[in-house]
Chain A
């Protein structure tokens, strides 16, 4: 099977800093950028909130907007931005789609009221009351807004993307595998163009609870990812990130200008992480990508702030000899399923602008001309992933 080069021709990026490539480049390419934070609403758990979005620009039908909650809207919106930048509106019917998804929103008011009312009632008695309350209180549309695969469904409905549709589940790792498999399918000739990414709506109690139970959420005043004392934790960042990938030939044939070449994506999971397990896994992935190192290599790290993963990643980064390392999470927060695609998008953006980013975190070091970018993704609990980006030919 002949492998074809895969390039990135569109990025759709929404974060607490704003939306679109220009906004992100303007803010992130200047020294001294500050994170946007909401430290009050979920205190003592800070979050990077969603920016105001003109939803009508990407989701023109109000009926479609009403069928979604913020998570699906964010993802559908970011997907549209990516398609627009790629100039690929006319190609959606044969565009393949892989979404990395978490769960959609719950009705928090219903959850809290029912849990308070019935938590001490004996199960046999509580059951019928629970049934009645849920049947009355749950909105039918909320089920569809909650279903993980319906972010992809909405992207199909709103943007007409119908080549194929798959939804991966599994936090950070799912997104890295989504990018890897979307690229591999194009490379081997399964289609010419694909859309891949994810979204994370940070302002959700259910997610703070889910990840907080495992100690993965940073509790306390905001601190950059490198400066959160053990056990650390992530600060959730609203993030929508989609990439339009194409074979180089497909892009050239339609005159689309690539932002960057996606030279490789490699993923694995170290089942025992601490004590060097994850660092060794990442080193093996790095070798699989041809072991880029030294001059000209910039790193965009998806470091979450969870201490165990951070220690492993620091050990890995120390072996690279990279000219510059940037921890994007200190400005964007951690967007779980959106984190890896967002960092790939930021990498493509930097290569397309012929520059790199100044330090984003106190631990960020190095400076100089960047020719290739390595994106890292050490999941909050499991999963190691790397992507290598190069200047488009």
Chain B
């Protein structure tokens, strides 16, 4: 019931997943195992004049029925709620609106989007100034609660009855992993017997697409969306923005065992290391990502050789995949374990990625199947890794998976997930 450092072991008892492939854990996972791409042409808004016109998107049911496009915070909240519900149902814990622990919510920063700006300007008789917007925004509690950073967390905390103050956090592309780490620490600390960890992102809106595009981070392979995300492949040229959410129900193994819950796996290690090199690039020596990987493995009480598979950060930018390769070779030496990137199928779900990929890592152990890295046509000689090209692979005896998340701003978090004891 305790780990090698005398801390309570942290069990996963519920998993919920929303991806562009499906609303739901098993359907999303089945599609990932089948190597199916969830990337498509953006239909949510006009894409004329955009350099990148593709993304992974998750439509809300009312949008699919022709309703107005939801704002990012609303999309985040809805996907988060769906993922939490699925996870609670599987865990059979806290399903009645009273969950016995806190909510750790990884999500993107949110702000007014253009539909809100246009609406206020119209109400101000065509005056788009902030001063005029203030004149007509008074009393708009809806805008206030939707776009304040604490809004989504408060709404979810009320709905699911989590304890204490919900904690919303961002560490860029490592956000989902950070949320899991926060939940693990809370349980190890004895602050709670259980916690919900969540990562969610729904940022495919014009300004966000343009901003990532201006940073030259996105691929513009618009002609064949399903082939655009090419992590570790020679012709990779950027990531594909995407949306989704994943929730984990975490509890001390003792708590899970005492109530007879099915343990899906153990969140056995968390490691982090920040980088001080550059706002969007890793230090070329890779020490921060190497440090994060090593810290996670050590935190789990394991040696690198115990790790049987790595769920890559694998964004498909030339830089990331090169640095991740460097990190893999530094940590694992001449015989690194297989590594594959879920992002080849679902794109880069940004704040959700760390949580979705940790969830898929648990399912990888459950099914003893490594999901593939699709679109692997031309190997990159600089990527000296087994990336499980194109087709999923059955394995046996896989007990420990390392899941990597490396963020803009140098925020790197790695997790080790392990089979149930």
Task: Give the B-binding residues of A (Cβ under 8 A).
Answer: 1, 45, 67, 97, 101-103, 106, 108, 111-120, 123-124, 126-128, 130-132, 134-135, 138, 140, 143-144, 146-150, 152-154, 156-157, 160-171, 173-174, 176-177, 181, 184-185, 188, 190, 205-206, 208-216, 267-269, 271, 379, 381-383, 385
Residue of B nearest to A214 (CB): B144
Beyond A156-B275, A162-B410, A165-B171, 8 extra complex contacts between A and B, CB < 8 Å: A97-B274, A116-B128, A119-B118, A143-B212, A153-B279, A157-B278, A188-B189, A381-B144
Q: Within 8 Å CB of B143, what residues of A?
A: 210, 213-214
Asked if B254 is at the interface (CB within 8 A of a chain A CB), the reply is no
Residue of B nearest to A172 (CB): B150
* A152-B140 in contact given A206-B111, A269-B157, A271-B154 (Cβ < 8 Å): no
Q: Within 8 Å CB of A126, what residues of B?
A: 118
Residue of A nearest to B8 (CB): A1
Q: Within 8 Å CB of B178, what residues of A?
A: 166
A120 touches B158 (CB 8 A): no
A184 touches B189 (CB 8 A): yes
Q: Within 8 Å CB of A103, what residues of B?
A: 109-111, 149
From 117 to 160 in chain B, residues with beta carbon under 8 angstroms from any chain A beta carbon are 117-122, 126-131, 133-134, 137-141, 143-145, 147-150, 153-154, 157-158
Q: Within 8 Å CB of A164, what residues of B?
A: 272-274
Indicate with 1 or 0, residue by residue over B39-74, a CB within 8 angstroms of chain A CB atoms: 000000111111100000000000000000000000
B210 touches A131 (CB 8 A): yes
A156 touches B409 (CB 8 A): yes
Q: From the candidates B47, B117, B134, B172, name the one contacting A111 in the complex (CB within 8 A).
A: B117
Q: Within 8 Å CB of A106, what residues of B?
A: 111
Q: Within 8 Å CB of A205, what residues of B?
A: 130-131, 134
B276 touches A135 (CB 8 A): no
Could you show 15 A-B contacts with beta carbons less than 8 Å apart? A113-B128, A115-B120, A115-B133, A119-B126, A138-B210, A143-B215, A148-B109, A150-B279, A164-B272, A181-B182, A185-B185, A206-B111, A208-B134, A210-B143, A214-B148
Q: From the candidates B46, B122, B150, name the one contacting A127 in the complex (CB within 8 A).
A: B46
C-alpha gap A114/B126 in the complex (Å): 11
Asked if B4 is at the interface (CB within 8 A of a chain A CB), the reply is no
C-alpha gap A211/B134 in the complex (Å): 10
C-alpha gap A108/B143 in the complex (Å): 19
B165 touches A173 (CB 8 A): yes
B279 touches A267 (CB 8 A): no
B161 CB to nearest A CB, Å: 9
Asked if B393 is at the interface (CB within 8 A of a chain A CB), the reply is no
B130 touches A148 (CB 8 A): no
C-alpha gap A173/B169 in the complex (Å): 12
* A135-B150 in contact given A164-B273, A169-B168 (Cβ < 8 Å): no
Q: Within 8 Å CB of B210, what residues of A?
A: 131, 134-135, 138
Asked if B167 is at the interface (CB within 8 A of a chain A CB), the reply is yes
Residue of A nearest to B136 (CB): A213
* A170-B408 in contact given A134-B207, A214-B141, A215-B138 (Cβ < 8 Å): no
Q: Within 8 Å CB of A108, what residues of B?
A: 130
* A156-B410 in contact given A135-B50, A205-B131 (Cβ < 8 Å): yes
Q: From the candidates A124, A150, A210, A267, name the one contacting B144 in the complex (CB within 8 A).
A: A210
B313 CB to nearest A CB, Å: 16
B122 touches A119 (CB 8 A): yes
Q: Please report the total number of B residues contacting A with Cβ < 8 Å.
A: 84
Indicate with 1 or 0, residue by residue over B343-357, a CB within 8 angstroms of chain A CB atoms: 000000000000000
C-alpha gap A108/B130 in the complex (Å): 8
A66 CB to nearest B CB, Å: 12
C-alpha gap A212/B133 in the complex (Å): 10
Q: Within 8 Å CB of B276, what residues of A?
A: 156-157, 160-162
Q: How many A-B residue pairs have CB under 8 A?
A: 268
Residue of A nearest to B272 (CB): A164
Asked if B288 is at the interface (CB within 8 A of a chain A CB), the reply is yes
C-alpha gap A156/B7 in the complex (Å): 30
C-alpha gap A290/B55 in the complex (Å): 52
A382 CB to nearest B CB, Å: 5
B130 touches A381 (CB 8 A): no
A90 CB to nearest B CB, Å: 15
Q: Within 8 Å CB of A185, what residues of B?
A: 185
* A144-B279 in contact given A138-B214, A213-B138 (Cβ < 8 Å): yes
A269 touches B141 (CB 8 A): no
A111 touches B128 (CB 8 A): yes
C-alpha gap A97/B273 in the complex (Å): 11
A116 touches B170 (CB 8 A): no
B144 CB to nearest A CB, Å: 3
Closest 9 A/B residue pairs (Cβ): A115-B128, A153-B409, A214-B144, A127-B46, A116-B128, A205-B130, A170-B150, A119-B121, A128-B48
B274 touches A174 (CB 8 A): no
Asked if B164 is at the interface (CB within 8 A of a chain A CB), the reply is yes
A162 touches B409 (CB 8 A): no
Max chain B Cβ within 10 angstroms of own Cβ: one of A132, A165, A168: A165
Asked if B411 is at the interface (CB within 8 A of a chain A CB), the reply is yes
A268 touches B190 (CB 8 A): no
B170 touches A167 (CB 8 A): yes
Q: Within 8 Å CB of B129, what residues of A?
A: 112, 115-116
C-alpha gap A45/B336 in the complex (Å): 60
Q: Within 8 Å CB of B191, what residues of A?
A: 184
Q: Within 8 Å CB of A206, what residues of B?
A: 111-112, 130
A89 CB to nearest B CB, Å: 13
Q: Within 8 Å CB of B165, what residues of A?
A: 170, 173, 176-177, 267-269, 383, 385
C-alpha gap A214/B50 in the complex (Å): 34
Max chain B Cβ within 10 angstroms of own Cβ: one of A67, A152, A154, A164: A164
Q: Within 8 Å CB of B6, what residues of A?
A: 1
Asked if B24 is at the interface (CB within 8 A of a chain A CB), the reply is no
B274 touches A209 (CB 8 A): no
Q: From the candidates B46, B169, B272, name the one contacting A169 in the complex (CB within 8 A).
A: B169
Q: From the candidates B109, B154, B188, B274, name the one contacting A162 in the complex (CB within 8 A).
A: B274
Residue of B nearest to A119 (CB): B121
Q: From the candidates B171, B207, B214, B277, name the one contacting A166 in the complex (CB within 8 A).
A: B171
Q: Within 8 Å CB of B107, what residues of A?
A: 169
Q: Within 8 Å CB of A173, what residues of B?
A: 150, 165
Asked if B304 is at the interface (CB within 8 A of a chain A CB), the reply is no
Q: Within 8 Å CB of A148, what residues of B?
A: 109, 149, 170
From 318 to 335 in chain B, residues with beta carbon under 8 angstroms from any chain A beta carbon are none
A50 CB to nearest B CB, Å: 18
Residue of A nearest to B47 (CB): A131
C-alpha gap A162/B408 in the complex (Å): 14
* A102-B149 in contact given A114-B128, A208-B130 (Cβ < 8 Å): yes
Asked if B280 is at the interface (CB within 8 A of a chain A CB), the reply is yes
Q: Within 8 Å CB of B126, what residues of A?
A: 116, 119-120
